[in-house]
Structure 1
Amino acid sequence: MPTVIVDDLHIVYRVHGAGSGKGSATAALSRIVQRRNSPSVREVHAVRGVSFVAYRGEAIGLIGSNGSGKSTMLKAIAGLLPAERGKVYTDGQPSLLGVNAALMNDLTGERNVILGGLAMGMSYPEVREKYQDIVDFSGINEKGDFISLPMRTYSSGMAARLRFSIAAAKRHDVLMIDEALATGDRSFQKRSEARIRELRKEAGTVFLVSHNNKSIRDTCERVLWLEKGELLMDGPTEEVLRAYEEHTGK
């Protein structure tokens, strides 16, 4: 059964005041008050006519060089970016897990686990039931009682591990992971890969954006290769990665 259908998708960013030297907040406010247009608008065509269908039970890797449109694609599937042209259809609620997703730094890790679970639609009893498993999975308490400390005391890797652990505690119709497996030691990466395989067995669909080809190989059976916003290749993992590695020389 299809879970995501992307049909001739185009995503365009518009940067107002780019290259004009008049892009400050003060200048922008002045233009708004005086009802003047921005002196220049730069358009960035981040995704160009991409089409594919994802099916329930698949784990799909997204690869490509920096700026190729991978993260933009995930945001469009999650409904966070409007399409310039084309359509995105999803069965169920997509959940986007990104390393740069905001956490509430002034709250403890414990409070963030509870609020994060509630925000994903879990009931309070469900969150409490899974709380210890989430903490243990993240491994942030292995060197001390960090879960009781404010998130601002965490390293970026610790915060990313906790974020992944919260998101992975719930079964998702469509789970999208943006570089989450790049953080943490090999032990945590193995736990993450095993959890993704469990999510697939629970009839979900997983998208993984990563520059770590080994994580893609260990986790995904299908890969989409994007460059300059265009879909260059869509196929079995080894076939696409081999072509990509030949292209990049890696």
Structure 2
Amino acid sequence: MQIIKSKTVYTTRLCGNHQTHTIRDGNTNLKMLTILTQETLIKSIHMLKHQKTTGNQYHLDGHGFRIYCIDMSQISHVQLKEDIDYLINSMFTSCLHSVSSFINFILLAFGFKVLTVLPLAMLYVRARDKCGDPDFKETYLRDMLYKNNEINALFKEETIHVLDYDCEYDRGYPCPEKFPEFKNKFWQFFNTDTSMTTGYFKMADVETGAVMNLKFKTMPVPGKYRYQIGEPFYFYDLRAEITHNGQHKEVVLVDEKVALQKVRPFLLII
């Protein structure tokens, strides 16, 4: 760092915990010394103005400095003090700029770390969710059953029992004519399946003796806002095959054709 005042040029550099100042007048080195504080430098200059020797070792307030060339008689003490004050203030400004830049780089580094961790978290969630079995709220399904009059007449909440259950993710892609959304090449790059499921419940009532084979299909559907999933296991096809007293009938709770006209699947990237 250089500061030019009149014909006098001051340069400074850090040396460990010290600062080395070089004072130049034209092309002549006037002084090079190591100081600890501004006060020490001022006292040193005041003493050097009366010196005419070179290459001597001096001590001031316990701090040593070496004089290489001395001719301070032409330098104003007041002017030099102002120059030194300006020099130290400039050093403080430079340090302040360095600290602010360092803080900005810390925030930038934190952002890059987030960008590194985010794909790893997505990979972990993808592996965790696809390795596990699909899990949906059975309470919502039972509520749909009891609201149907035909089923509610044969199956009561207190006497119904589950005999068998199965639910698996559908492999591959569905019919492109029925689900054209899954033709998306960007989505296919990240997915080999659709997060849609197919399963069944086998239930029986201990009082009426009725047996029901409840078949269902689910798919993820969008929510209120864009890029928001509303329900990951939405029943877009639900029908019950009931056998009672030797009679067989089918009750359609959710028709696939009607449901797909109202709700379309949500493409999950992860």
Q: TM-score range by the shorter chain?
A: under 0.3
Query: Radius of gyration: which is bigger?
Result: 2
Q: More strand by proportion, 1 or 2? A: 2
